[in-house]
Amino acid sequence: MSMAGNLRKVTGLRGVGGLRKVARLARRRPRVDLSHPARSPLGSSVVNCVTYQDGVRVPGCADLVDAVRLVRKSGEGFVWLGLHEPTEREFAGVAELFDLHPLAVEDAVEAHQRPKLEHYGDTLFAVFKTVCYVEHEQLTATSEVVDTGEIMLFVGKDFVITVRHGRHGSLGPLREELEANPQQLVKGPAAVLHAIADHVVDDYLNVTDAVQADIDQVETEVFSEDGACLDPGRIYQMKRELLELKRAVVPLGRPVEDLATRPIRVVDPEIQAYFRDVYDHLIRAKEQIAAFDELLNSILQAHLAQVTVAQNEDMRKITAWAAVIAVPTMVCGVYGMNFQHMPELHWRFGYPLVMGVMAAACLVLYRGFRRNGWL
């Protein structure tokens, strides 16, 4: 379809009126990123709508329909639309305007998707899992260590749509960094895709570094003198949180590899070189997570072994004391039998002799167990 035909399609959509209503509602609110520190005016799902030409932000082009008309009329630049947890109704006009595939739209609205990369005609749909380290004073069996969110991207020839879910993974600072580097932004929507992928993977590395500190703390406590008293729930909690991080990082390997190696229509070959660097960082994060998983397994096994050893120590002490007590119990049991004729039953020194024998036997057993480390 020609550019004029596309333009007629854009301006003639029935859903454009509803979309303009959403855009006007968004314009009445400050144009900020909902997750940016100290900036969170909740309201319309439209976070920002920006037009870029020659790597420079075009001022005064906040209306989405006008921005699309400008870009497609000039044949240069692209539109970056940012959304935060849009509803199906809010996203319907955007999907119709950019002719987005219904399956991708459903994934973007519903969230809770696995990291992936899909092609729908000339549009690329990517899903990234964002992660955030949750600060805590002390790791407990119920501590939240890793919090996850999602960023979905629709990347076309002249547009980028970012749909973010969760309260972290802010794209406000990232947008500012890109705008400060017009040489990179002039490369088009693929540059935004790379910047977001690089930002997400860098967060993976930051979180793994923070998780390593928690694992080191648990490891130190396990191998301390009171390691057997450590709550194993803390180790299991670390494994659960690590599994959450693993679900975000590991599935992203194939999509990033495709972006770095396979020819993709909306990704310039020059940008693919940058994705190789992202892929290297992702491999590092995956290797760290695999190492953490093995280390936690070893820590858990060591802790269980310590508990078993401590239980064996307790059982040995109990057994030793039971053996010491068994001697006087046996002697008293013999002399407690009601037989008329028993040796030394009426002897004057029979009682002190029996008591002395029992004491001597108990002392010998005690010293023997003590020498062997049982007591």
- Out of 289, 307, 325, a domain closes at 307
Using the structure block, give the residue that is written with the tokens 């990347």: 155
Reported as a single tens digit per residue, the pLDDT across 155-214 is 999 999 999 998 877 788 899 999 998 888 888 899 999 999 999 999 999 999 999 988
Residues 296 and 314 in one domain: no
Tokens linked to 320: 């030793």
Do 303 and 316 share a structural domain? no
- For 83-96, what is the mean pLDDT? 89
Same domain, yes or no: 63 and 212: yes
Same domain, 67 and 206: yes
Same domain for 291 and 322, yes or no, is no
Contact 238, 299 (CB under 8 A): no
SS (H, E, C) the chain: CCHHHHHHHHHCCCCHHHHHHHHHHHHCCCCCCCCCCCCCCCCCCEEEEEEEECCEEECCCCCHHHHHHHHHHHCCCEEEEEEECCCHHHHHHHHHHHCCCHHHHHHHHHCCCCCEEEEECCEEEEEEEEEEECCCCCCCCCCCCEEEEEEEEEECCCEEEEEEECCCCCCHHHHHHHHCCHHHHCCCHHHHHHHHHHHHHHHHHHHHHHHHHHHHHHHHHHCCCCHHHCCHHHHHHHHHHHHHHHHHHHHHHHHHHHHHHCCCCCCCHHHHHHHHHHHHHHHHHHHHHHHHHHHHHHHHHHHHHHHHHHHHHHHHHHHHHHHHHHHHHHHHHHHCCCCCCCCCCCCCCHHHHHHHHHHHHHHHHHHHHHHCCCC
Same domain? 294 vs 316: no
Look at residue 347 and tell me if it is in a domain: yes
Residue 37 lies in a domain: no
Q: CA-CA distance, 264 to 312, in Å (whole number)?
A: 63
Quote the pLDDT of residue 370. 80
Question: What is the per-residue pLDDT across 348-365, written as a single tens digit (0 to 9) for each?
Answer: 777 777 788 788 888 888
d(CA 166, CA 131): 10
pLDDT for position 22: 37
More confident residue, 195 or 331: 195
Between CA 125 and CA 114 the distance in angstroms is 12
The answer as to whether 236 is a domain residue is yes
* Whole-number pLDDT of residue 14: 38
Between 336 and 116, the more confident residue is: 116
Residue type for position 265 = R
For residue 217, is it within any domain? Answer: yes
The per-residue pLDDT for range 64-74, each reduced to its tens digit, is 888 888 888 88
Task: Supply φ then ψ for residue 78, to 5 degrees.
Answer: -155, 165
Please compute the mean of the pLDDT values over residues 20-47 and round it to a whole number.
Answer: 42
Q: Are residues 116 and 180 in the same domain?
A: yes
62 falls in which pLDDT band (50, 70, 90)? Answer: low
Q: What is the pLDDT of residue 33?
A: 41
Residue 42: pLDDT band (50, 70, 90) is very low
At residue 61 the predicted structure's pLDDT band, cuts being 50, 70 and 90, is low
Dihedral sign for Cα atoms in the order 302, 287, 193, 154: negative
Inside any domain, residue 12:
no
**Structure confidence at residue 26 (pLDDT):** 38
* pLDDT surpasses 80 at 80: yes
Are 223 and 288 members of one domain?
A: yes
State the number of CA atoms in the 13 A half-sphere of 49 facing the CB. 23
Which of 13-17, 220-224, 275-279 holds the top average pLDDT? 275-279
Mean pLDDT of 93-121: 90
Q: Which of 77, 265, 334 is nearest to 187 (CA)?
A: 77
Residues 366, 339 share a domain = yes
Tell me, yes or no, whether 314 lies in a domain.
yes
Q: How many CB atoms lie within 10 A of CB 41?
A: 10
Domain boundary among 292, 307, 322: 307
Using the structure block, give the residue that is written with the tokens 């590899």: 257
My answer on whether 238 and 339 are in the same domain is no
- For residue 255, the model assigns a pLDDT of 92
- Judged against a pLDDT cut of 90, whether residue 251 lies above it is answered with yes
Taking 60 as the threshold, does the pLDDT of residue 23 lie above it? no
Dihedral (Cα; 335, 341, 347, 351), 10-degree rounding: 0
- 333 lies in some domain: yes
By percentage, how much of the chain surpasses pLDDT 90? 27
Average pLDDT over residues 16-39: 37
CATH, residue 132: 3.30.460.20
Tell whether 326 and 199 lie within a shared domain: no
Q: How confident is the model at residue 344 (pLDDT cuts 50, 70, 90)?
A: low
| pLDDT value of position 252 | 93
Is residue 63's pLDDT more than 70?
Answer: yes
What is the DSSP pairing of strand 56-58 with strand 146-155?
Answer: unpaired
Mean of the per-residue pLDDT values for the chain? Answer: 80
Mean pLDDT, residues 43-57: 82
Q: Give dist(CA 285, CA 209) in Å, integer.
A: 9
Contact by Cβ (8 Å): 357, 332:
no
Q: Is residue 32 part of a domain?
A: no
Any idea which of 29-33, 52-56, 82-86 has the lowest mean pLDDT? 29-33
Q: Any idea what the CATH number is for the domain that residue 315 is in?
A: 1.20.58.340
Do 146 and 244 fall into the same domain? yes
Total of domains in the chain? 2
Give bridge partners of residue 154 from the DSSP assignment: 125, 161
Report the pLDDT value the prediction gives residue 5, as an integer from 0 to 100: 37
Last residue of a domain, one of 269, 287, 307: 307
Domain boundaries, position 328: 308-372
